[in-house]
Chain A
Amino acid sequence: MNRNILFVLLKNEIAEQFRSRKLIVVLVVFFIFGLLSPITAMFMPDIISSVSESQNIKIEVPPPTWTDAVMQYIKNMTQIISFVLIITYMGVVAREKENGILVFLLVKPVKRSAIIISKYISVFFVAIIAILVSFIVSSFYTYLFFEGFIIQDFLLQNLFILFSVCSTLFVVVLFSSIFKSQIVAGILSFVAYLLISLTSQIESVSEYLPSGLIAQCNNIMQGEELSFIPIIGSIVFMSLCVVISIISFRKWEA
């Protein structure tokens, strides 16, 4: 068997994301949210005061700082973006099961595990590029609009966000490889996302889960002690997703 098969599949997977415009959509969304975060933080006081004036109410809004922009960025990256990713990638395996494309690969000398691993690596690759785009855009405008912005801290926060985004994506790929319907995969990914988010309320548990990653972003901003355990927890969580996917996919009959 071809030893470079994983590389061949990965290349095709990324090219397919270009051809289907999925990659473009994700990059544009990350670009927009990267841009919106500092802009929203910058102009929100003006928007609030103009609205309150029209209602004859006086609301005192403190002048915005870079922390507002970063907080807005973290919120966007871990909430709205997750929904976009679920919708975009819920069919990453399930749709190919539905439309028969996977059969094309399954009758070739390709290990089933290689197909699944190539899917995971491709979404990981997309997450890195997308976070890089939003990081660059957001850093540029935050630096431009506000004083005292610490780019090193923001870079570290983005490392935690990367693992958060990857955890969401890995859950989507997991359900997409277990189920044949992309709608079912999408709904279950959303439910799983909500359940994982809910664990952030239990500190002793979230410390070991992807939900603990956001708390660390806040710790960085507030200069508190930083723990990398949620990253290790996320890696274990993502590895589990990959293993379950492979086991399930090896049993799947086309």
Chain B
Amino acid sequence: MIKCVNLTKIYGKSDVPALNNLNIEVPKNSIFGFLGPNGAGKTTTVKILTGLIRQTSGEFYISGIQNTINNVGLKSKIGYLGQENKMYGGMTAQNLLMFVGEIFGLSKKEREYRAFEMLDMSGLRKSANKKISQFSGGMVQRLGIAQALMGNPEVLFLDEPTSALDPIGRKEVLEFIHSLREKCTVFMSTHILNDVERICDSVAILNKGELVAYEKTDVLKNKYSDKIIEITFARNEQNFKIEDLFQGIKSVEVLNSDKNCVVLLPIEMKNAKTDLLNFITSSGIDIERFEVKSASLEDVFVKLIGGAKDE
């Protein structure tokens, strides 16, 4: 459905490519998560794929057709919701959808039917006649996705659709995106790992313009780490630097840490558990929780991105 071949983008006279030889293939009717920290090249990729900017080199295909910046015909096959979701604030939600329908050449009857279908799907039927400027962040994002779906696209591009939302707005939008599975191919760029883990079938991780990993979400999690150990410390045990604490233990690698918690990647699980428990007992550190669990996508992400940073 989407195929990128050696896609590269270099802005201006910069020596460093914002995107370097990206090769991915996204299957039809799947939800694809495009992960990476800020500045990784996610938005650049989405902008190239939607014809907003030109690639420096490489090719990309959508539905088997090679796309270019001014390929109007192909734009009828895509829907797009940008990072900054700007729409005509003075319009009502219904008017906006009718306008988009008109752009796609739908008849008045078709436009009305499709607009109400989209309003129902996005849960905005009751706010159909409300001005967009009066919408909450979550409502604007849902309307943004609804307008992107108005032309019945084969591919829906979403650039950081949940990054500006509160937890309730995020939940609403994710559920809406999840409901699109089997209806169209969703290409979602984000830096929020939980979102990808919750709804994406496959995931690519990008860092500094380079593709670090590209797998099915479950395969990626299993491939990079079977199990991890997470230790939560008692709140009064904070007069030490957690990272330094485990540097001497050879059977584990510190994957991630914050104020009260450390995530460790065991090199060999049996030895790691013994070494850690012995160390905790002998040093007298007060812990609240010691858990052996499956790695989350966040753990995999930290491992991959962290590795790339070290290089």
Contacts and interface: CB of A to CB of B under 8 A. Distances in A.
Interface string A90-104: 000000000111011
A109 B151 CA distance: 10
Contacts of B87: 101, 104
Interface in A134-180: none
B102 interface: yes
B52 A19 contact: no
Given A16-B90, A254-B52, A107 B70 contact: no
Contact of B103 (A103, A108, A112): A108
B104 interface: yes
Given A1-B72, A109-B105, A110-B103, 13 more contacts: A1-B76, A5-B103, A16-B88, A20-B90, A107-B50, A107-B52, A107-B75, A109-B151, A111-B70, A250-B70, A253-B53, A254-B47, A254-B53
Interface size bracket, B side: 20 to 34
B99 A101 contact: no
* Chain B interface helix/strand/loop/mixed: loop
A50 interface: no
A109 B76 contact: yes
B73 interface: yes
Nearest to B91: A19
Interface of B: 47, 50-54, 69-70, 72-73, 75-76, 78-80, 82, 84, 86-88, 90-91, 99-100, 102-105, 151, 157
A20 B88 CA distance: 10
B75 A109 contact: yes
A2 interface: yes
Contacts of A243: none
Nearest to A250: B70
B80 A107 contact: yes
A106 B99 contact: no
A16 B50 CA distance: 25
A58 B82 CA distance: 70
Interface string A71-115: 000000000000000000000000000011101111111111000
B99 A253 contact: no
A219 interface: no
Contacts of B105: 1-5, 109
A25 interface: no
A105 B96 CA distance: 12
Interface string A1-30: 111110010001000100110000000000
Given A106-B52, A253-B52, A8 B88 contact: no
Contact of B102 (A8, A104, A253, A254): A8
A2 B80 contact: no
A12 B78 contact: no
Given A1-B72, A2-B105, A112-B70, A12 B99 contact: yes
A99 B86 CA distance: 7
A3 B87 CA distance: 23
Contacts of B76: 1, 109
Nearest to B150: A108
